[in-house]
Structure 1
């Protein structure tokens, strides 16, 4: 029964750790979401600035996964150059390692202080930014509290012969240990949580230094999988970015696993305290990736483009409805507004296509407009569904009104598309089918022009061509060509 209670406490501490990470991410995004995105976009002028931007953003969000998803969404919209986006990812990995150092500090009272400040700040503020900052501080306090709980739960494990035997067996099976750590990081959607857990096990003497190196490598590998899965629907550029990050981490993890014994011996000689071993390996691993792969951004981009080519047909679907920012209403509303403007562009194409269909016979004009109208209907439905997923508790009166306006505007655009398809497209199709032609407009000075009250009325001749007449014939009998004005 005691072992069951310890397992429940350990799982609860892990859940609290992940919830603290979520609170930090959502709090920072709600407080500085739009500014944070603009700052990342502007801070990518060169590869060094891009890496620094990724590092700072990850320190603020406490999650390289969140930074990866945001950067991938920028890359898919061509806001960030793909090579600079990869530099942001390398910097984000280092930011996660620095966050692990901060969270591993032995400050028991700090967690209680952060929880107190976070609750007071969240409840006392009336503004979204103040509540977001309070939420982030509360999340930091919960993370530190969760680490204390993990430390207390794992204390009795050092006397457990079963745990020692299992982990000892993992030391003799490095591939399985690598896969186990990667699976844990993927399940938790955070390499940071797994690295901190490995650090506690190393401090307790349960994990040997060489095994700690392999587990840290696996945690870094597994942490690159959630962003790759989260941006599958974002577009080719986003998939290239996350795939490149997964490839880079995979190469580093395999190399570190092969070199685990000498690396563990080297780090243990420099840092004799076991608690610092896993954290130091984590930081050194990501710094090595940054140093090695930062000069190789161009070859990495070419390789990802070769493995993930652009589709021949343009990708359809929503481009700006980012599911990862639904916790931040301001950013979600901005994306929905941009998507609605994209719908207006499609409606404008429909109007232009209908005008071209009226000017000259185009047999496939109606089918083309029907396809565009289907796109308008699909996007309008996606926008409405996306806005219904917003966290309504975080919407103030202005945001709620803006959400309603976006939905109303999208619905009106969908109605315009239906009118074009059912009205102008039908007229253009009849004109092409019946071979109805408009004569050219006569010059302004034509004698047949009439002037009245400074307004000019030009006579326009419309010729109705009989399908039985030869093509290009000027006359075709009495029932061949007739004109009306």
Structure 2
């Protein structure tokens, strides 16, 4: 092979991989935001789950992206893990549809796809149309890159060492499986690996038998993304999804590897004489056979995986639960993950507010320390969520997605601020009261208790506003803040009246009483900020 052919091979590979990324991103941006809801509501039937898994994976151009959705749905208890097995099998079929598409002989029209896709993406005013145009442009680069690689590898037919290597793959498929597994794990796309094999077949240097070994390895290697993600502290549901995926793939490869030659003969019977088409059909047939074998036993598979991958409590350091880095290539999925983490943060802050009044009623410093420790968790989640969204900002997002990202950052900051008020203000005053032995008057204590209860309910209303984005709820939240402001003012007047009457306990706790009221008022102001944002965005439309 000359240097010119080598440069053409590498350049064609770059165009091919770039086209895969462009097509995947365009389809994900165009259709990805609704796919999570589809999977969440329509996977009750295992056969329907297979079909949906295939469709969603074809649209996302990534079985890893489908796996990320499944991890999120199981983590949020939207669907049980047992249902995901059928969707995984369907996702494996969905990845083969891309290979079927790129095996068509349309390289002569590849640059037309690029031109039309580019033209539509520039002139169209509809965002979703531009995304699908970019996907079309991506497929154009895929077809063009494959043709460039095929032309560059043509001379390899006359190289004795290369023919010897291909013969060894046919006679010893384990070598081909291993090489293909490693390569696919590196580039994180089984369709890309098999697409390269199609280019070799088009140039006449690759036959079906060694190509099947490459197919088997690519099917194992594509699981690497999910496996690596679980090493970063995924939930037990995430580990189970990854384990089921890799387990099914390895079982299928073990069953088929000894019968590569009969499998190749069967593929030739149902295919044309074109080797590229035979390779695409072999890839599809393998995954269909996997589904046929395992779909009747999805319940058994899920129970085995649940027994092997258990959720053992451990004293590990507290950390984010939903910020899966493999989802960053898909803004809808990444935003859903970040939203779940912010909801988790909100649950912790809510618990902090609920517990905040106990140290004012009980002389127990452990209650103060317990609440203060929760503030450290909120700080960690706030920092990690914003860092996660910072990485997402480098991806192309729709205006709606960019606004959702801003909402998440904004609400996370508000939550962190509220947690700081509870920790640095309320817990400071509670600690001071306990150490100095101060006692509120019965009337003063009841008034503070009422203010605390109203603040808890106000916070829960703010969470509902964040979740629903409902302007009516936002207006109600703002009105509640005004009522709480009036309540705080009335409670200050009541305390001053007790001072005038010389009520026992009112004098020595005056400063403390006013500081606690002020802290609750500050919390209620922070609670309302998100509601103002919702109304501002509504008015800006």
- What is the TM-score when the length of structure 1 is the normalising length? 0.83
Correspondence for 1:240: 240
2:382 counterpart of 1:383: no
1:6: how far off?
2.2
Q: What is the SS of the residue equivalent to 1:206? A: coil
Equivalent residues of 1:128, 1:394 under 8 A apart: no
Structure 2 contact 93–287 (Cα < 8 Å) conserved: yes
Q: Does the 8 Å CA contact 2:16/2:145 hold for their aligned counterparts?
A: yes
Which residue is 1:277 aligned to? 278
User: Cα gap change, 1:208/1:125 in structure 2, threshold over 3 Å: closer, same or farther?
Assistant: closer
Aligned partner of 1:105 in structure 2 is: 104
Q: CA deviation at 1:431?
A: 4.7
Which shifted more, 127-136 or 422-431? 422-431
The CA distance in 1 between the partners of 2:421 and 2:265, in whole Å, is: 74
> Structure 1 stretch 423-432 or stretch 231-240: which is displaced more?
423-432
Q: Which runs of 5+ in 1 are unaligned?
A: 445-454, 464-485
1:61 matches 2:60: yes
Question: What is the aligned residue count?
Answer: 451
Preserved CA contact (<8 Å) 1:9 1:153: yes
More helix by share: 2
Q: What are the equivalent positions in structure 2 for 1:141-152 lying under 5 Å apart?
A: 141-152=140-151
Q: Once the 2 structures are TM-superposed, how far is the Cα of residue 163 of structure 1 from its aligned partner?
A: 0.6
User: 1: distance between equivalents of 2:168 and 2:412?
Assistant: 60
Report the more deviating stretch, 407-416 or 26-35: 407-416
Residue 140 of structure 1: how far off its partner (Å): 1.3
Q: By how many angstroms is 1:226 displaced?
A: 1.9
Root-mean-square deviation (CA), in Å?
Answer: 3.1
Q: In structure 1, what is the Cα distance between the partners aligned to 2:59 and 2:200?
A: 27
Cα separation, 1, equivalents of 2:207 and 2:409: 58
Question: Superposed, which structure 2 residues align to 1:109-128 within 5 Å?
Answer: 109-128=108-127
**Structure 1, 429-438 or 21-30: larger mean CA deviation:** 429-438
1:276-316 per-residue CA deviation (whole Å, 9 max, x = no partner) reads: 33222211110111011112222222222222211315984
What residue number does 1:452 align with? none
The aligned residue for residue 371 of structure 2 is 369
Change (3 A) 1:212 1:55: same
| Aligned 1:62-461 pairs, distance under 5 A | 62-202=61-201, 204-233=203-232, 234-271=234-271, 273=273, 274-313=275-314, 316-326=318-328, 329=331, 332-333=334-335, 335-391=337-393, 394=396, 400=402, 403-433=405-435
Name which one, 1 or 2, has greater alpha-carbon Rg: 1
Cα pair 1:30 1:128 within 8 Å, conserved: no
Does the CA-based 8 Å contact 2:26-2:135 persist in structure 1? yes
TM-score, normalised by the number of residues in structure 2: 0.75
Shift of 1:363: 3.9
Q: Once the 2 structures are TM-superposed, how far is the Cα of residue 168 of structure 1 from its aligned partner?
A: 1.9
Contact 2:24 2:62 in 1 (8 A): yes
Return the alpha-carbon distance in structure 1 between the equivalents of residues 38 and 293 of structure 2.
26
Q: Which ranges in structure 2 are unaligned for 5 or more consecutive residues?
A: 447-493, 507-541
User: Is 2:65–2:330's contact at 8 Å kept on the other side of the alignment?
Assistant: no
Q: How many Å separate the matches in 2 of 1:170 and 1:393? A: 40
SS in 2 for 1:259: helix
Aligned-partner Cα distance in 2 for 1:432–1:353 = 16
